[in-house]
Amino acid sequence: MVPPAPQTPRRSGRLRGELVPTKKFGEKLEISAAWTAEPVHARPLDADKDLSAGDKEIYDDLTEQGESGWLTSIHNSFDRSRKSHTIQRNRKVVETETETFRVGDTVLVAGNNIGIIAAAWETNLRDNDARRLDQKMSVGIHWFVKPNQLAAVRKQREHVKNEIYFTIDSSTKVEVGTIVKRCAILPVPDAGDDSDSESDDEDESAIPKFYCRYAVDARTGLFFDFSWVEHKASVLQQLKADPTATSTSVWAIDIPKPKKRPTGAVATKKARFETHDDDSDDGKSDGEYTHSGDEEEESDGGEDLGEDEDTDDDAAGSDGGPPRTPSRKRKRGGTSNSPRKRLKGMAHPTPHSKRRLLSSPSKHRKFTRIAQPTYAVDDTQDSMPEDPYLRAMHVLHVGSRPEVLPCREGQFDQIFQGVGALLEEGSGGCVYVSGLPGTGKTATVHAVIRQLKRMAEENETNPFTFVEINGLRVPEPQAAYTELWQTLSNHDVKKEGRMTISAKESLKHLTGYFHKGEGRGPAGHACIVLMDELDQLVTAKQDVIYNFFNWPTLSNSQLIVIAVANTHDLPERVMTGRVRSRLGMTRISYNPYQKEELIKIVLARLKTASIEPNDNGPVIALPAIVLTSAKVSNLSGDARRMLDVCRRAVEMVRGTKSVAGTKQVLAVMRDMQSTPTAAYLRELSFHERVMLAAMIKCVRREGVEEINWGELQYQHMNLVPVLAGMNDPQRRPSRHELGRILESLACSRAMVVEEGAAAMKKAEDERKVVLNLEQGEVERALVDAGGDVWKIW
């Protein structure tokens, strides 16, 4: 007898979790759905809540044409049929399974998510051909969340097997076909119950069981005592009494928010009527937060918790002083129109969650950072070698990332304040960082991200996902879509390799993710994207940077983009108006390092390795550092070049155990200038060097590498009288002579000229020219050969 074909499990591509069975091997499924009864209520169509992103575009087009009057019909239940086609013993077998789902049913949703059917509706919106749109039936799901779906940067609380948490207000719209089956939500596990949802996969008729004891705010990481049975009964009773309350928000719950303690005269007056009791908190755990009975009664009466109470900072003993008993508040009458149920207390929290709850709301306070660590001996010194020369080479390497960056404290605070405030508010935005290469732009951003990660781990700010997209490391600008979606979909690159998905398909997923939250799941977090080398991501249509700058402007996108470029005026010179308008006004500029700043950077790094140079060493002499900083600051102000020269000087004297001095520094600089490229540039004629200088100036000004030949000729003519010396020709070359100069540089592959059939159809001045040498090396060679007047910026 041939055994039955095994089930084909599908691993969630969006959220980490167990395997969810989809269909048997060789099985073809057809899913259809229909309402079980007439609608219980009809209301005017709300495009933002009722339509998908694609249908909303059609709605906007029809609205512009003057059409209106569409309705949304609300239903309480629907039938979902699953017709399977299989081949058994060379015979086609068709099986039909029909199941009824109602509002209030807890279900498994594709992607290994768990939720409750909070609402079901249908719109009568039709397109221009009078055909009903794709989303005929829609279901609103209020999410539960599994422990492994919470932010990984947070400290996890202990949980029992199959335990889930009810989310405060996380919900979304899904398709009927994404619902897998029903599941059971129980308040606490039964004694000796070892059932697991994975074991239920063997029996499709079995109902998976999960346990819910707490509600969670996924953004802040706070847990609250919660009764799922009472909450479900209360909401269903409300929906029965008021059929018009059809929004998914009826399942959301309010959390207690203590009021900020008054200050000034009001606080002095209130203090006269308050009593102090040193033993008021005896018997309570340090990490538990509860409300008094009077406050609970106020909550039941409809008043917001903490609205009339004094601050709980002192009651909890958070300021280190004696606990204080808040004064008794008189009860107030009245009812609340809000359908949300209010929680009465906080469960045993994860570390620091009580401090987060008792802090003042973010909109009333400035987002501040923890004090940066000082430049003491590095904690990683234990893992460093004992050889001081190796330690110095380690900290002076350009790839070494110190905890803090000297001379960039102001820019650190600006980026931290801008990104941190957006993260705290749960909104999106853009930050534009610009400056010359080697001025610490990317290093500062990484330092900010490390600080925010530490704060997220301690529940001092909201969790987030960090993605770095470098324009020089992607094969084409459109590949940035795949890089971002690969991270947002929780794709494990180490285990499964890189995603084999096209940029077009990634863009489709990202559009749904940010526009309507499709695929975000029950615990969607903020996302911070670092777009380094932004110049390389600029295309002719500018569609890539437009999308990345437009997504943060969408409501609830929670996308924060940090754009880093080497050109200060890149938005004004290159970007179109629609792209520039979405970039925002948060712009941070970096100037080249000065001599004193470069010295401070090197000394700070050496101090982390317990090395403090003086005139006689150790390892490297202070005069050598001063000489290097003078030459580098005069040339480019690039800190990476400064570190590289000092490291190579230390490496040169390591074998003899002597001190690296000015002699070694000068030798390293000569070696760096004696590369084949530098030797080639020194042999060029005056006008050939002028054309290279004109090319670099155009690249810096335009922000792109491809320059029109006509623009390059114009810049060359302008630079001739500026750069010409006593022994250089003063006459400006003709257009024919400029063509011969370009031809000479192209033959040696210093420049590349656009070729091909398409290029031949263009006007001569419209053909593109690209510099084929490393830009920084060309700048250094030009300055070495001609002096400071050849500085391009």
Q: Do domains 7-251 and 678-790 have the same CATH topology?
A: no
Supply angle C-alpha 572, 576, 580, rounded to 5. Answer: 60
pLDDT (0 to 100) of residue 600: 92
Please state the φ and ψ torsions of residue 108, each to the nearest 5 degrees. -90, 135
Sheet holding 28-35, edge to edge: 28-35, 77-88, 91-102
753: CB partners within 8 A, 6+ apart: 709, 742, 746, 767, 768, 769
For the chain, the structural domain boundaries read 7-251, 259-311+327-336, 370-402+593-672, 408-590, 678-790
DSSP label of 519: T
* 150-180 residue pLDDT tens: 776 666 778 888 899 999 888 888 888 788 8
Distance of CA 788 to the CA centre of its chain: 42
603/662 Cα distance (integer angstroms) = 16
Q: E-strand spans in 691-750? A: 707-708
The lowest-confidence range among 144-148, 258-262, 557-561, 670-674 is 258-262
Higher pLDDT, 659 or 385: 659
526/465 Cα distance (integer angstroms) = 6
96: CB partners within 8 A, 6+ apart: 81, 82, 83, 84
259/308 Cα distance (integer angstroms) = 7
Give the DSSP H or E segment for 163: strand 163-174
pLDDT (0 to 100) of residue 619: 92
The yes/no answer on whether domain 370-402+593-672 falls in CATH 1.10.8.60 is yes
Q: Are 510 and 420 contacting, i.e. CB atoms less than 8 angstroms apart?
A: no
Q: Are 103 and 8 contacting, i.e. CB atoms less than 8 angstroms apart?
A: no
Counting residues of the chain whose pLDDT is more than 90, the rounded percentage is: 19
CB-facing half-sphere around the CA of 497: CA atoms within 13 A: 2
User: Which amino acid does the sequence have at 787?
Assistant: G
CB-facing half-sphere around the CA of 460: CA atoms within 13 A: 12
DSSP β-bridge partners for residue 211: 163, 186
* 442-490 residue pLDDT tens: 999 999 999 998 888 887 888 888 999 998 888 889 999 999 988 887 7
441-446 contacts: CB < 8 A, separation 24 or more?
441/564, 441/590, 442/530, 442/532, 442/564, 443/401, 443/405, 443/408, 444/405, 444/408, 444/411, 444/412, 444/415, 445/415, 445/530, 445/562, 445/564, 446/401
Higher pLDDT, 556 or 232: 232
Q: Is the pLDDT of residue 88 over 70?
A: no
Quick one: the chain helix, strand, coil %, rounded to 5?
Answer: 40, 20, 40
Q: Is the pLDDT of residue 594 over 60?
A: yes
Tokens of 539: 């295309």
DSSP β-bridge partners for residue 262: none
The lowest-confidence range among 102-106, 231-235, 382-386, 601-605 is 382-386
Tokens of 216: 């969670």
The lowest-confidence range among 22-36, 211-225, 551-565, 631-645 is 22-36
Cis omega before residue 147 (within 30°)?
A: no
Q: Are 216 and 107 contacting, i.e. CB atoms less than 8 angstroms apart?
A: no
Give the DSSP H or E segment for 424: helix 409-425
Instruction: Kindly indicate the confidence band of residue 289, based on its pLDDT and cuts at 50, 70 and 90.
Output: very low
Q: Is the pLDDT of residue 126 over 60?
A: yes
598/591 Cα distance (integer angstroms) = 13
Please state the φ and ψ torsions of residue 341, each to the nearest 5 degrees. -90, 140
CB-facing half-sphere around the CA of 184: CA atoms within 13 A: 13
Superfamily of domain 7-251: Bromo adjacent homology (BAH) domain (2.30.30.490)
168/761 Cα distance (integer angstroms) = 62
Q: Strand 345-346 and strand 526-532: pairing?
A: unpaired
Q: Are 591 and 361 contacting, i.e. CB atoms less than 8 angstroms apart?
A: no
What value does the CA radius of gyration of the chain take, rounded to a whole number of Å? 33
Number of residues that make up the chain:
793
Q: Is 460 helix (H, G, I), strand (E, B) or coil?
A: coil
Higher pLDDT, 357 or 52: 52
Virtual CA dihedral for 631, 633, 635, 641, nearest 10 degrees?
Answer: 80
Give the DSSP H or E segment for 720: helix 709-723
Please state the φ and ψ torsions of residue 707, each to the nearest 5 degrees. -115, 140
Q: Is the pLDDT of residue 337 over 80?
A: no
Give which of 181, 231, 225 is closest to 80, Cα–Cα. 181
CATH number of the domain located at residue range(s) 678-790 in this protein: 1.10.10.10
430/359 Cα distance (integer angstroms) = 27
pLDDT (0 to 100) of residue 253: 85
Give, in words, the CATH class of 408-590: alpha beta
Virtual CA dihedral for 764, 767, 770, 771, nearest 10 degrees?
Answer: 10
pLDDT (0 to 100) of residue 501: 85
pLDDT (0 to 100) of residue 212: 92
Is the CA virtual torsion 213, 216, 221, 225 positive or negative? Answer: negative
Tokens of 398: 């350009």
403/379 Cα distance (integer angstroms) = 10
